[in-house]
Amino acid sequence: MVQSILDLDIRKKNDPTFCSTKADYEKELKKRVKHYCQKSYKKTHINRAQVRKDTVCMRENSFYVDTVRAFRDRRYKFKA
């Protein structure tokens, strides 16, 4: 829809410098799409709130506790 309106505007203007390159055309199209979205949806960025579950505390995880104890024990052996 926006692209067809842009094509019609290019034909109406009959200006060879208006959107003469593909980069200019894409820039103008992006500008018009952004403007359209701002008017129709009232925002440009989507912010989503996520509800996350609590993770298990590392102190309650047996693998973590065992690893820390093993490291501590090795450290005391090397220091002694």
Q: Average pLDDT for consecutive 10-residue bins of the chain (80 residues)?
A: 70 65 83 81 74 73 86 84
Q: Give the pTM.
A: 0.41
The structure tokens listed for 5 are: 């309106």
What's the pLDDT score for residue 43? 66
Scan for tokens 């008017």, then name that residue. Answer: 39
Residue 21 DSSP symbol: S
Distance, in Å, from the CA atom of 50 to the CA atom of 53, rounded to the nearest integer, reads 10
Distance, in Å, from the CA atom of 20 to the CA atom of 24, rounded to the nearest integer, reads 7
What's the pLDDT score for residue 70? 93
Cβ within 8 Å of residue 44, ≥6 positions away: 34, 37, 38
